[in-house]
Every structure is written in structure tokens, then in C-alpha cells.
Chains A and B, each alone.
Chain A
Amino acid sequence: MSSGSGTTIRSLLLLSAVGFVGAAATYFVEGPARFWANWLVWMVFGIAVGLGCLFIVALEHQVQSVWSVPLRRVPERLSSLALWVTPLVLAALLCLPVLYPWARPEGASVPAIVLKSAWLNTPFFIIRTVACVALWFVAYRLVVKRSFEQDRSRDPMITVCLRRHAPLVLAIFALTLTTVAFDWISSLEPVWYSDIFGVYLFAGTFLSGLAATTLGTLYLYNRGRLPGVTEDHLYNLGGFLFAFTVFWGYIAFAQYMLMWYGDMPEEVFWFKQRTTGGWLALALILGIGHFFVPFLALVSRKAKISPKRLRWVSLWILAFMLVDLYWLIFPAVGAKVRLGWPELSFALLFLPLGLLAARAAMAKGEDTPVGDPFLQEGLEFRL
């Protein structure tokens, strides 16, 4: 087993090394713009999965939910991905003059950008990014870290303490995720306005976190490492995935329809760019793949308790989070849909690393929060 897993780790690292070579080649062959656009897609994807899991943990404490206590260790473990991503975020600060018009000298000549320059300027951007990164570490400490201590100490006061911290973490989550949405994605086209954009990224983030939690839960469940967890628990996860698929569709369509109706030049150009040429095909694929397919796949009661169905739908949702980010970010750097060896290289670089990070995270602590006083009550949960 250990030698087998050693081989897996080595081959994953090898794949990642191949991806690294490809990514480095992208920088010199295809130019820095394409390199950083790819970087941004994977960076935000990592933030979405990690922060999504952190949000699930904080939400569970906030609403004092009991059914989810036996499953809570999975999002707690995977929320450390948000911390693993922080080097990528800090490194991405190098791309400001490459990708962001407001960070270049010519930005000063566009009145709409000058209007936003109080927010969109390089020093403040760096301050915000560093603050976000620091706040993620604080949030992790506040709502996740002590839960691992509880495995040994079995101190019920830790649960009380975590529940008290939850509102603060939710506030941190809301502020930092909105900042990520506005700073890293929306300001690629700084003329564009969309107040709802933070909520749009939140919908994708929560969905990614749920999908990752579901995959982690099924990983343990299928290996019998979650004794006492039943189909009723899976049903709730499936229900959440279903509900927030609808939420994503609702927010995505609301944003689109209001801008389409208003037809204001500073808003609608963003959608015009993303719904013409090859981007239209991608937009349609996104609408069908991110909304209709998971909706129909999860609509029945049987589907929400079937581990097989939940697994492929979760993988599908994560894949479409990537498609979503590609559709959000790439039109800002190139007029045409470009999907080639650079994108493959980045997938090869970051997917194995992400899997290794998730694997390392999944080894942390007990499989269930054994010290939580509500564990037994959570295991007894039935629909």
C-alpha cells in the first residue's frame, strides 16, 4: 500500500513537472498574458474550493446544524487548500501590469478608469491582497484549527468557542471573496460595472466547496471510514448541491438579463464580448453544463442518495467551475477562444499538486470530529 501510494505520488509529481515545463514555455512562447490568465484561472479555482470549504465549516457552526457534524471533518481538512493557494496569490501580484489596464500607464487616459483609481491602484491592490491572505489564515485559525485539538482534548467548550467565531469568519469570507471577485476578475476590464459579481463568484465558490466536500465524504464513505453516516446525510449534501446549482443559475441569469435589458455601453460590452464568436458556444456550454445538467441529474430523490451519481456530478461541477473561470477571465486577454497546449500544461501543473495537497489534507486528524459533543446526535440524524 505504502509503496503503491509512493508510486502514485511520484507519478503525480512527474506529471506536475511536465506541466511546469509547459507552463514555463507558455511564458516565453505565447507571452506573459496567456501565462498569467491561466495562472489566474487556477488560482481563483483553488481559492474557490478552499474558501468554499471554509465557508461550509463556518456556516455549520453559525446555524448550529447537527446533521453535518459527522461530515464536518471533510470541509475542515479541505479548507486548508485556501492556505496552500496563498503563494499563488502573492506571486500573481507580478501580473498586474501585464493583465490589468488600470495598472498600466495608458489606464490614466481612460476617464472611466481614472474615476475608479481610488480603488484600482497598485499599492492599494497589494495591500488588499495581502490583507485577504492574512485574513484567510486568521479565519482558518478561528474556525478550523481548534477542532483538530478537540480530537484529543474532547473539550466541549471548543465547540462553543468555534460557534462564537463563526459570524466573524462569515464576515471575513464575504469581504475577502467579494474583493477577490472585484479585484482579480472584474477589474481585468476596469470599465465594467456589476454589483452582483461578488455574489456570482460566491455561488460558484459555495458550489465548488460543496462538490469538494461531497467528493471527500464519498472517498471516506466508500472506504467505510465514516461509520454511522447514512444515505440521509448524503441526501442533504445532494440537496445542497442541487439548491446551489439553481442559485448559480439564478444569479448568472439575473446578472445577464439586467445588463441585456439596460443595454448600457459600460455594462453590456462585457457580455457582448462573451457571447459572440467562439465565446457564445462556450457561454451556451456553460449554461447547459453548469445549470441544466446538474439540475436534471440531481432532481430526483434517488439521485441525491446515490454515491455514484453524487460523485460524477461533483466532479462535473468542479470542471464547470473551471470552464466558468475560463469564460470570465480569458475574453479579457484575447479576442478568440484559445485552448491548446498552454492550458493543458497548466492543468498538468496544478491538478496533481491540488490532488496531493487534498490528499495531505485528508490525512489530518480523525475522520470525524470525535470530540464534538453533537457527533452522536448528528449520526442519529434521519430525514
Chain B
Amino acid sequence: MPEAPFGVLAVYPTAQALLDAIPGIKARGFSNLEAYTPFPVHGLEEALGLKKSRLGTLVFIMAALGAVSAFLFEWWTSVVDYPLVIGGKPLNSWQAFVPVMFEVTVLFATFTAGLAMLFLFNKLPFFGSPILGSKAIRRTTKDRFGLLIMPVEGVLDVEAASAALLETGGSEVEVLAAPDSTPPGLGWWFKTLSGITAACVVTGFGTAWAIKIYPTIPPMVHMEVQPRLDAQKADSFFADGHGMQLPPVGTVARGYMPLLAKSPEEAGKELINPLPVTPAVLQKGRDLFNYHCAVCHDRLGTGKPWLTSAYTAKPANLQASTYRKVPDGYIYYVISEGKGAMPSYAADLSANDRWAIVDYVRALQRSQHAKPEDVQ
């Protein structure tokens, strides 16, 4: 038995003629129909008895999968693989995950819709339907309405189908041969892949060549090109050939006087607090103490704040008699250089800031150990 054709095609003059013809053709036992119209025709889907597309269901499932996998990935990265506390939020902050979940949901949904439509439901790769080679195609994209009868389970009575089309008002009946359905051989794959490779090579070299021939012309260069010596670049201006020179030995940047003392005790002997104790200084000291110090030393300097339970270091109790007796320079040195687990605060606090904190620590100590005459 010869292979069944792709189908038998006829054209109808109007959309209504097409709609009217379909029931008659169905009554003759042809159920696998397809219509080709220049614009959407209402009621055609129902008349042809097209099944509801499964694309929506697939998209819904994939979208849900996208939401779930985005959540799992975010949870894994921020709770399991690389836990970082950000802004004091819990590691598993679902609120922060939602925007990404939303984006991934949309991504999965659109990719599924596009790719599933092309590859699963439209059966790509497929190099052109036989309908594109028909005579009717010129008119069905303009002012005629085509109807195609396709084989059911590989069987189609061409004679009966042609008769059915003609009897229901169709004209220009043509039989479309089935497309070549043999899978492409080795030669086809070779030709296709080498064609793609050749295209890439030609484009790549062409681009590189074009850039060489036609150099890019920057619109303005006066920011980029300046008469100056760049760091890390060679330059003949100085004898040693370096663009950037080291400062002379012993240079001190303004406002960055280094500590000469080698220990807190030494600093306590040498350094004198330059700041007078005024309300403004104490106010500044209080603000800075509460920003930088209180998190470990507590707002009263007792060393028993809310963070001590989280780690094992024991911040100094500034109210202890040892620290009430040490000179100002001692505290200044510790703030500048750090002590034990405490890091240096020299980068965050200027010399005056540190002295203001020292003054405030003194005020705190006095406030907790006030003598009767302080109240008078």
C-alpha cells in the first residue's frame, strides 16, 4: 500500500462557506481536519473540534517548579552554603527571596511556553509544511479559506476526500504529498555543523579585521588622556623610571599623627588629653561611644552587653577599678591599637574622636561611682 499523502486541500470563497462545509465533511467520516485562513475566524476551533492545548498546563507546572527551585536555591546559598548575616535579618528570610522567586517563575514560564510550543507541540525541527508548497497558499494568506483533510491513522481515501471537498463547495482541490520524513543522515549533520562553524569563523575574523581597519573613534578623550603620571606606570620624568614616587622618609599626613608609644602603659605616661571637657565634647563622645563601643562594652561600659552571649570574648568592664585608675593615654592607646580581641579603631575614629570617647568614658565612670559632693 502506498504511503498516505499529507492531505487533500481545497479553498472556499468565504469564512462562512468554510464553516458551513466542515460539518458535511465530518459527516462523511473525515475527522482529522486543518483550516488555513488569512485572519482568525470565530467558531472555527469549535467546528474543527480542536482539542484544548496542553501548553497552559505545562507552563503552569514549570512555573510552579521555577518558584520552588528558586526558593530552594536561595535557601541553600544563604542558609547552608554561605551563611552571612545581612542587616540583622535571619538567614532564611523568605521575604527577601520572593522577588527572585517571582523572576525565576516568569523565566521558567516564558521559556517553557516558547520552547514547548516550538519543539513539543509544533514538532520542530521541521523544515516546512507541504502546505507551503501548495498552490492555494497564495490565496489563503490573502482572500481564500483553505481546508485540509489529513489521514486518520495513516489512511486517507483521496478520491472520497476530493469528492467531499468539491460537494461542500470547495474548489481548486489538490493532493499534497507527504514530506520526506526520513531522519537526516551523517552528511546532513556534517553540512549543517560545518556551515554554522564557517559562519562563526567568517563573522569573527570579519569583525576583528573591521576593527583593525576602522579603529574606534572615541568622541572625547580629555578625561582619558591627561598630562599626568599614572600610578604603577613607568615614566622617564624621574631618575628611577617610576611614575609614582614614595614620600620622603618621616612624612606625616595632616591629622594622622602616628602613635609613638609602644604600649598602653607608655602611652599613659606620655600622652596628655588635648580636649577640654565641655558638653559638646561629651555629647560627641557619647554618640561615638554608642556607635562604636557600646555594642561590646555596653552603654554604661560594664562589658555586659547584648552581644557577649553570641561569642566567647570578654570585653573589658570599664567600670572596674583598674580602668578607673589608668591614665587617659592608656585608653587612647587601646582605642588606637586594639587589645586582645578588640581591633584597632584608628581607621574609623580620628585622634580628636578618640579623645572625645576617652572623656566620655571618664564621665561614665564618674556617673557610676559618684561621690556625695558630685551631686552638690
Which A residues are within 8 Å of any B CB, using their own CB? Answer: 253, 256-257, 260-261, 263, 299-301, 382
Contacts and interface: CB of A to CB of B under 8 A. Distances in A.
B87 interface: yes
B98 A263 contact: no
A260 to B, nearest CB: 5
3 closest Cβ contacts across the A-B interface?
A: A382-B42, A260-B95, A257-B95
A261 B98 CA distance: 12
B114 interface: no
Given A263-B88, A299-B60, A257 B42 contact: no
A300 B56 contact: yes
Contact of B87 (A263, A299, A301): A263
B56 A261 contact: no
A257 B98 contact: yes
A256 B95 contact: yes
B60 A261 contact: no
B120 interface: no
B42 A261 contact: no
Interface in B70-129: 87-89, 95-96, 98-99
Chain B residues touching A, majority SS: helix
A237 B30 CA distance: 38
Nearest to B63: A299
B95 A301 contact: no
B95 A261 contact: yes
B97 to A, nearest CB: 10
A300 B89 CA distance: 38
A363 to B, nearest CB: 34
Most buried by A among B88, B89, B95: B95
A260 B88 CA distance: 11
Contacts of B56: 300-301
Contacts, number: 17
DSSP majority for the A interface?
helix
Given A263-B88, A300-B56, A301-B56, A253 B96 contact: no
B96 A261 contact: yes
Nearest to B99: A257
Contacts of A301: 56
Contacts of A300: 56
B67 to A, nearest CB: 12
Contacts of B87: 261, 263
17 contacts: A253-B98, A256-B95, A257-B95, A257-B96, A257-B98, A257-B99, A260-B95, A261-B87, A261-B89, A261-B95, A261-B96, A263-B87, A263-B88, A299-B60, A300-B56, A301-B56, A382-B42
A325 B60 CA distance: 31
Nearest to A382: B42
Contacts of B89: 261
Contacts of B88: 263
Contacts of B96: 257, 261
A299 B63 CA distance: 12
B347 to A, nearest CB: 27
A270 to B, nearest CB: 15
A261 B99 CA distance: 13
A313 to B, nearest CB: 18
Contacts of A256: 95
Nearest to A300: B56
A377 to B, nearest CB: 15
A258 to B, nearest CB: 10
A253 B87 CA distance: 19
A223 to B, nearest CB: 26
Contacts of A382: 42
A257 B87 CA distance: 14
Nearest to A254: B99
A300 B99 CA distance: 24
Nearest to B93: A260
B110 to A, nearest CB: 16
Given A261-B95, A263-B87, 14 more contacts: A253-B98, A257-B95, A257-B96, A257-B98, A257-B99, A260-B95, A261-B87, A261-B89, A261-B96, A263-B88, A299-B60, A300-B56, A301-B56, A382-B42
B92 to A, nearest CB: 14
A356 B258 CA distance: 85
B122 to A, nearest CB: 20
A263 B89 CA distance: 10
A249 to B, nearest CB: 10
A299 B60 CA distance: 9
A260 B95 CA distance: 8
A269 to B, nearest CB: 16
A222 to B, nearest CB: 23
B167 to A, nearest CB: 30
A257 B98 CA distance: 9
A321 B42 CA distance: 37
A253 B88 CA distance: 20
A256 B42 CA distance: 45
A266 to B, nearest CB: 17
Interface in B8-50: 42
Contacts of A253: 98
A263 B96 CA distance: 13
Contacts of B60: 299
B239 to A, nearest CB: 57
Interface string B263-292: 000000000000000000000000000000
B95 to A, nearest CB: 5
Contacts of A263: 87-88
A260 B99 CA distance: 14
A301 B56 CA distance: 9
A177 to B, nearest CB: 27
Nearest to A258: B95
A16 B246 CA distance: 90
